[in-house]
Amino acid sequence: MLRTNLPHIESQSEHSDLINNNENVMVCCGRMGPMCIPVYEIMEDLQSEYKNVKFADMDFDIPDAKVIRSLPECRTFQGLPFTIYYKNGKVVKATSSIQSLEDVTAILNEHFGK
């Protein structure tokens, strides 16, 4: 279980519900590690600013996280966290490793707007 203030996805069905029932979704899949924590904190801070986006995290090591680990967009990834942006259930962007506030907001603005 990740110790963040974000909603946690704990199963493939929860993941499916989230991305299929919301237009814009950002999911950060990682551990409580140094490269992941900054991304969770950025997401926590952005929740109030991007009301049109659902933010959530997922523990990289639970079996059901294969729904993210096995995404074609992640096949070359070798750094945590894997951060996935979904629009209408489809992946529009995926990043590997730590991201800055500027990196995240640039992607949110490009694909989701405010």
Partner 1 sequence: MDNHFDVIVIGAGAAGLTAGIYLSRAKVNTLILNEGVVGGQMVLTHEIANYPGVENISGYELSRIMKTQAQKFGCTIKSNIKITSLDLTDDLKKITVNNKTTYTAHAVIIATGGRSRMLGAIGEDVFKGKGISYCATCDGDFFQDKEIIVVGGGNSALEEAVSLTKYASKLTIVHQFDHFQALEHYVDEAKKNEKISFIMESKIIEFIGDEKLESVKIQNQATQEITEMKIDGVFIFIGYIPNTELFEGIIELNQWKEIIVDKDMKTNLSGVFAAGDSNQKKYRQVTTAVADGTIAALSASEYVFNKKELSEQALAN
Q: Which residue has the tokens 């991201």?
A: 99
Give min distance, CB of 48 to partner 1, in A.
11
Nearest to 39 by CA among 29, 48, 49: 29
Closer of 18 and 81 to partner 1 (Cβ): 81
Q: Which residue has the tokens 């995240």?
A: 104
Give the orientation angle of helix 37-46 with respect to helix 101-111, to 10 degrees: 50
d(CA 104, CA 80): 15
Spell out where the chain has E strands.
8-9, 24-30, 54-59, 82-87, 90-96
Which range binds partner 1 by CB under 8 A, 21-29, 50-58, 89-97, 106-114?
89-97
Which range binds partner 1 by CB under 8 A, 10-18, 19-27, 50-58, 75-83?
75-83
* Contact pick of 27, 29, 68, 80 for partner 1 (by CB under 8 A): 80
For partner 1, the binding residues in 26-55 under the rule CB under 8 A are 31-38, 41-42, 45-46
d(CA 66, CA 50): 27
By CB under 8 A, tell whether 22 contacts partner 1: no
Using CB under 8 A as the binding criterion, the count of chain residues that bind partner 1 stands at 24
Which residues would be at the binding site for partner 1 (CB under 8 A)?
31-38, 41-42, 45-46, 75-80, 95-98, 100-101
